[in-house]
Chains A and B, each alone.
Chain A
Amino acid sequence: MKPVNQKAWFLILPVVICVAFSAILPLMTVVNYSLQDIISPDRRVFVGTEWFKSVMRDDDLQGALIRQITFSLTVLIVQIPLGIALALSMPAKGWQASAVLVLVAISLLIPWNVVGTIWQIYGRTDIGLLGASLSAMGFDYSYTGNATDAWLTVLVMDVWHWTPLVALLCYAGLRAIPDAYYQAAQIDGASKLAVFRYIQLPKLRGVLMIAVLLRFMDSFMIYTEPFVLTGGGPGNATTFLSQYLTQKAVGQFDLGPAAAFSLIYFLIILLLCFILYNWMQRVGTSDKEVSNG
């Protein structure tokens, strides 16, 4: 057990101030918008929970929410194992380690609007490498015409863009495991699989928790890349939640409903992250008991 020490609050106070400064006021303002009908800056009417009710009944929103959850779960299922595998296969020492680190990190550093633009060209069958190769192999590939192709292209783009985040976190986590653990495993004659299962995986719990939560919430709010790549189409195959929200907020200037939508959106992410967080913590602690017992 950690010792109780209320003075620890002084250590976290700077963080709370920094974050609260830019977080609380905007959040309260959005709550304020969501309860009013804003006709013009000087004319506003209190409408109570009216907007929340209408947003909850919105069929398009429910469609976008289902697409969003499917997409985010797929992202997790693909990127987390791939990131762990990548971290395990990255060299630990020497110039190769440095070179691989830089190469792996590159895709993270490209601004999101450029990511979308690059893939827009990259996926075209006439002038892009990916599109041209796929059509040369005989696939009838078109990310603008075919809904499945568009969805898969957004997914592959996201895997390309964000798997390095998981890999870098796990890589640093792996490097933080003391050699003594591996030596002990060697003396016990443990197999590679056992080393992974009983030493590396438990030690990676902390970074994996961050990786899963980050990837989940960021993919849940994905906006710029699909917006640039497909514009949400064809039809609404790649219209995810935040794009639908932006259409409402910017396209129709409906501040009240858009604010209510934002808050519901926020609460959905919060709830799902909370479930993920608790689930992963429970899995982690039961793991500990097994390895101790």
Chain B
Amino acid sequence: MDERRFRKRTLFLILYLVFAILPVYWMVNMSFKPNTEIVSTFSLWPKHFTLDHYHTIFTDVSWYSGYINSMIYVAMNTVISLLVALPAAYAFSRYSFLGDKHVFFWLLTNRMTPPAVFLLPFFQLYTTLGLMDTHIAVAMAHLVFNVPLAVWILEGFMSGVPREIDETAYIDGYSFPRFFTTIFIPLIKSGVGVAAFFCFMFSWVELLMARTLTSVNAKPIVAVMTRTVSASGMDWGVLAAAGVLTIVPGAIVIWFVRHYIAKGFAMGRV
């Protein structure tokens, strides 16, 4: 009985993974084909294998600096988001205070603004501050949607931790900062892992704000990519190669946080 159940689950998982991987495979496949082959023939693997597209990206400074710029502001954004969100999520999960529910919901409403019209005031605000075309400008703009997300995710995980743990620690003479960093955060590792990954991911793929706030020095890879659409038609191969390369940093990030996500609660130790 259990055996059959196990097989059913595995079968479902494999089917989903196939569904998930095929479009990605098609992108990888495209990235090794010359452009003429991409638009003219259907082939399951590259017939005229080429590394030209990757060569373009790694030798053209405007391409590879896009990756570096993106990584800089995404890293800044993820670190700031988590640092401010952790104490706030603790406050929301443990105490009631004036306006707590309203502030909590208000935070999330900042993710609900359709970007098209809001880009112009963003542009004006950051121009006035003299922050245009800097990494910190993009990192700060992305806080608008990442901080609320991090607070909500972390609050969900923190609420699952029984309050007796806090009380016991305080009775044992732990100060708040020490309790928070040495006991509490390890308890919600999986939440921190997921929140870090989501902050990374949403900042990494965001296009409209990042493009509006940068021009040369901090231009992110997502904005560089839009260049492949030109008067001479679409440069499909380079776009696919760039797409393949955008997956790499995120895959590394999730590889690092996987233990946090997979291990979860270590109640036994407390």
- Residues of chain A at the chain B interface (Cβ within 8 Å): 1-9, 11-12, 14-16, 18-19, 21-23, 25-27, 29-30, 33, 82, 85-86, 88-90, 92-93, 97-98, 100-114, 117-119, 121-122, 126-130, 132, 160, 164-165, 168-169, 171-180, 192, 203, 206-207, 209-210, 213-214, 217-218, 221, 223-224, 241-242, 245-246, 249-250, 255, 258-259, 261-262, 265-266, 269-270, 273-274, 277
**Shortest CB distance A35–B (Å):** 14
- Residues of chain B at the chain A interface (Cβ within 8 Å): 5, 9-10, 12-13, 16-17, 19-24, 26-27, 30, 38-42, 44, 80, 83-85, 87-88, 90-92, 94-98, 100, 103, 105, 107-118, 120-122, 124-125, 140-141, 143-144, 147-149, 151-153, 155-157, 159-160, 188, 190-191, 193-194, 197-198, 201, 204-205, 207, 221-222, 225-226, 234, 236, 239-240, 242-243, 246-247, 249-251, 254-255, 258, 261-265, 267-268
CA distance in complex: A119, B263 (Å): 35
Q: Which residue of B lies closest to A20 (CB)?
A: B110
Closest 9 CB pairs of A and B: A206-B156, A175-B264, A109-B250, A29-B121, A11-B91, A26-B121, A8-B91, A8-B95, A114-B243
Contact partners of A22 in chain B: CB under 8 A: 122, 125, 140-141, 143-144
CA distance in complex: A98, B226 (Å): 32
Contact partners of A214 in chain B: CB under 8 A: 111, 149
| Complex partner residue of A221 from B16, B114, B234, CB under 8 angstroms | B114
Tell me whether A245 and B263 are in contact (CB under 8 A): no
Interface majority SS (helix, strand, loop, mixed), chain A: helix
Tell me whether B112 and A217 are in contact (CB under 8 A): yes
CA distance in complex: A118, B265 (Å): 38
Interface majority SS (helix, strand, loop, mixed), chain B: helix
Tell me whether B117 and A102 are in contact (CB under 8 A): no
User: Known contacts being A5-B97, A127-B41, A245-B117, is A207 close to B222, with CB within 8 Å?
Assistant: no
Tell me whether B97 and A8 are in contact (CB under 8 A): yes
| Complex partner residue of A169 from B27, B147, B194, CB under 8 angstroms | B194
User: Known contacts being A101-B258, A118-B243, A206-B157, is A127 close to B19, with CB within 8 Å?
Assistant: no
